[in-house]
Structure 1
């Protein structure tokens, strides 16, 4: 090989970015903690409300309030991140989630449903921030590697997310020793986890990924005219923000609705809190553990194909959940694992589609607005789930959600057709 050829070969190999590696390490550490905070309340939120209110019809209200609080926080975190950077926005969001956890504990001690609902709204800030952190992983990532950067942040949530539900019973025992109702015990864990995540980000997320990416973009020479190419070499088409948002919205609505009522379904069939925690742990593991593979698939094959896979996986989950007997923990765990996998495919593909198409000047703000739609969809699913189960039963809810996920396929097919048409017109 000649000297010139060797030089060109070396130049073609991407140079690792030390700042990006450091940022990913810090984000991974914060997500390990926040994952426990995110998952701890999922297992017992509906049961706590059911215990206080004495009715199943409103058991979906905690999830709805949590996701409504997530929607509000997504806007705030997005705007703060846009103006002051990811570090400030994410740390403030996690700290707010910790305050909400303290409020839930206080409401449980006082037996106040009103305070519980207010606290759950505030607690939703942690959920919004947990999702917003994935965008920070992609700010400095090279094109063609953004989905993998997003997936690295998401998979870090797995350890805490799986541990959190399985600690529901031990934290319940600890809560009783402290004079707190056992069902509120997991919020002891979530408060500590969110507080520590906020501390890690406030102290260690330097340089700020979004501010650094913006500064680099301003210093770089202007790009060549024309639409940019994605990881597969295809031209990026405008309008991807709407499709990416739709993918995440439907995935979130379906996931929250079914997940919220599964512990109630198991409780009504005589299963213990520990059994519910194990099923939710399987679900949350499937939500985050496949992320590295999903990120690679999105970077390799494009977001549209993986988004289509999300819809079909969610349909399979709904069919299995509807068919599973109420006394079968194994089949419910498998259905919830498919539910988590379908959500993961939708979230990673939708996030990559949006990140590739939004300029740095408005990226954090746009991402915050999109996540509002995602959170509102989750709130809708959480609120409607209790009503549907009370009226028609859990199998009807699972089937309806699976069918709803199929709505992704026509939108994806239409977008793919438009992209092929644009490509043909340019050639």
Structure 2
């Protein structure tokens, strides 16, 4: 097959790839939003111990960590389309296991299902890198930010479907707290079909072909290898993700305490919890994805490191609010929104920095390592977050997370060498 090297043809294909990936992220956001919102609540309910609630988020991140490198290798050999669809299959199986575990009230089975959902998320994480495979250097941040932004629609809608999902689940006889997974199943199946049918030609395979033909002069230049900058990008994204995931994972449990205290243990407390948690996580997800095109544009204009540092500043503000306003629902909600904004800036700019610091033939491997570092660190952080929450409270958890923000800021000169 003849390689496509004309810049205008590559740009046309890149536009189509971004549109397909964006739609896939909408569907993936709907599917994953319910897992993020319900995981900690299901774990606490089935295990009977709030200190184990962090194991749900830890299991999601563990699944993503275990599959990030294998899926990256699969993408390098068979293309992004194969890796993304396999990830969707993992998630569908995982959802079925979670619902079964809730019905049987078996905690280890619940964690096994959540691990598979996390494995599916490892495939979904590749979408942001797939958006950069064919992107021109001056548009790399914007294309990446556009695909990340698309998750806003599904990511905000997913948590808001908790209450109607519960009502629908009761009608069909599903276990409590699992009704919203009905929407997840439909969304994951639709994303799987979309990638199989529409993600053609495969962006990574085409980028590799263009790189091999670069000697002909018609291909775009290959990015230079800057391993120190790539390592800093991995660390910055991982640290920001640990901060976000650890605090976010414990927020539903903390809000449950605040809601029950506000209702004095009244019968309406459970409904208040699902509404409060759903609204808070929806706003948090809006912060995570809603301004990602803006952060991508800023990363293209100001530079990647500058926007990573902007993200650290926003994360610090969020954590300070959560520390000193942990007993006020409104302040916690604002802190979670800012937490999402800071994560978005650091993740978009960090992913762009990692991509442009790495030649195309090394990208899948380094991207897989970066995702593994990000998700495995967050898994450990989520478990420790449950312990910190149980021992010292929500404010102390936010204060501990500030250490990672400080480290990311102090190490930033490494990326400029």
By the TM > 0.5 criterion, same fold?
Answer: yes
Q: Which residue, 234, 242, 247 being the options, matches 2:236? A: 247
- Count of equivalent residues: 397
1:288-327 alignment runs, 5 A limit = 288-326=289-327
Q: Distance in 1 between matches of 2:395 and 2:251?
A: 10
Quick check: 1:259 aligned with 2:248?
A: yes
**Closer, same or farther: CA 209–14 of 1 in aligned 2, 3 Å:** closer
> CA deviation digits over 1:169-208, x for unaligned, max 9?
1111111222222211222222221221111001110000
Q: Is the 8 A contact 1:34 1:126 kept in 2?
A: no
1:219-234 alignment runs, 5 A limit = 219-221=213-215
> CA deviation digits over 1:71-116, x for unaligned, max 9?
1121221011000000111111112111101110111111111211
Deviation of 1:325 after TM superposition, in Å, equals 4.4
Quick check: 1:407 aligned with 2:401?
A: no
Q: Distance in 2 between matches of 1:293 and 1:98?
A: 32
TM-score (norm 2): 0.91
Q: Which residue, 78, 87, 112 being the options, matches 1:84? A: 78
Quick check: 1:184 aligned with 2:178?
A: yes
Q: Who is 1:424 aligned against?
A: none
Quick check: 1:93 aligned with 2:82?
A: no
Deviation of 1:228 after TM superposition, in Å, equals 7.7
Q: Distance in 2 between matches of 1:58 and 1:20?
A: 44
- The secondary structure found in structure 1 opposite 2:51 is coil
Q: Who is 2:266 aligned against?
A: none
Q: Is the 8 A contact 2:240 2:404 kept in 1?
A: no
Q: Distance in 1 between matches of 2:222 and 2:75?
A: 25
Q: Is the 8 A contact 2:227 2:358 kept in 1?
A: no
Quick check: 1:201 aligned with 2:190?
A: no
Q: Is the 8 A contact 1:37 1:126 kept in 2?
A: no
TM-score (norm 1): 0.89
Tell which structure's C-alpha radius of gyration is larger: 1
Q: Is the 8 A contact 2:56 2:114 kept in 1?
A: yes
Quick check: 1:169 aligned with 2:175?
A: no
Deviation of 1:359 after TM superposition, in Å, equals 1.4
Q: Distance in 2 between matches of 1:308 and 1:192?
A: 38
Q: Who is 1:212 aligned against?
A: 206
Quick check: 1:144 aligned with 2:138?
A: yes
Q: Is the 8 A contact 1:35 1:130 kept in 2?
A: no
Quick check: 1:19 aligned with 2:8?
A: no
Q: Is the 8 A contact 1:73 1:125 kept in 2?
A: yes
Q: Who is 1:395 aligned against?
A: 395
Q: Who is 1:353 aligned against?
A: 353
Q: Report the RMSD for the aligned CA atoms in angstroms.
A: 1.9
**Closer, same or farther: CA 81–237 of 1 in aligned 2, 3 Å:** closer
Q: Distance in 2 between matches of 1:36 and 1:24?
A: 19
Deviation of 1:404 after TM superposition, in Å, equals 2.4
Q: Who is 1:342 aligned against?
A: 342
Consecutive unaligned residues of structure 1, counting only runs of 5 or more, are 1-12, 230-234, 420-427
Q: Who is 1:3 aligned against?
A: none
- The secondary structure found in structure 2 opposite 1:269 is helix
Consecutive unaligned residues of structure 2, counting only runs of 5 or more, are 1-6, 260-271
Deviation of 1:14 after TM superposition, in Å, equals 7.3
Q: Distance in 2 between matches of 1:98 and 1:178?
A: 19
Deviation of 1:209 after TM superposition, in Å, equals 0.2
Q: Distance in 2 between matches of 1:148 and 1:92?
A: 27
- The secondary structure found in structure 2 opposite 1:361 is coil
> CA deviation digits over 1:385-407, x for unaligned, max 9?
11000010000001111232111
> CA deviation digits over 1:47-86, x for unaligned, max 9?
1111111111111000001100011121221011000000
